[in-house]
Structure 1
């Protein structure tokens, strides 16, 4: 029996993080990000640079390893740990932490 080729890119053995953002009346959508901008460290930097208006959930996955999970609370904890490095924390991040605390 012939198997189908994988749709997973050859260099996909890395964790990818996506942010679900609430755009109010427009609804919720996964935020666009270039492939190189979906790692954990870049995600944290984007949060602290106030690049998400109203993030409500973060999902991570690794197609090569075959897993996915909700990492909203993990990222919220990481953001809290990094607060001392920043003078001001964006309002969007503060609201995200309130959402994550209810999970």
Structure 2
């Protein structure tokens, strides 16, 4: 007898990061990302590559450990430290960092 694959996602034992992006008149939506591209290092690279037009919030969670939290300021702080390393910083990143510390 064959077993059907589970319908619940397998537990992933790493932190997952998701971006809430403002699409203007279309509103805000959580951006899709593949499982392998949801880690912090990839998130920072994608932000610096201007892959999000207007990021407004970032959350992280780890289902294996059972936690979630808003990491917007943490990511903005890391980006602020890295800005000096780049010649050309996307406007979206500059606006994100500024907004994160304005609130």
TM-score by length of 1: 0.89
Deviations 1:35-68 (A, max 9, x none): 1110000000001001100000000000000000
Structure 1 residues without counterparts, runs of 5 or longer: none
Task: Indicate the residue corresponding to 2:16 in structure 1.
Answer: 16
Moved over 3 A (4+): 5-8
- In the alignment, the residues of structure 1 paired with residue 68 and residue 101 of structure 2 have an alpha-carbon distance, to the nearest angstrom, of 21
Contact kept, 8 Å, 1:8 with 1:63, in 2: the verdict is no
What value does the CA root-mean-square deviation take over the aligned residues?
A: 1.5
- In the alignment, the residues of structure 1 paired with residue 7 and residue 53 of structure 2 have an alpha-carbon distance, to the nearest angstrom, of 35
Task: Indicate the residue corresponding to 1:96 in structure 2.
Answer: 96
TM-score by length of 2: 0.89
Q: Look up the SS of the partner of 1:47 in the other structure.
A: helix
- Give 1:7 deviation, angstroms: 3.2
Task: Indicate the residue corresponding to 2:3 in structure 1.
Answer: none
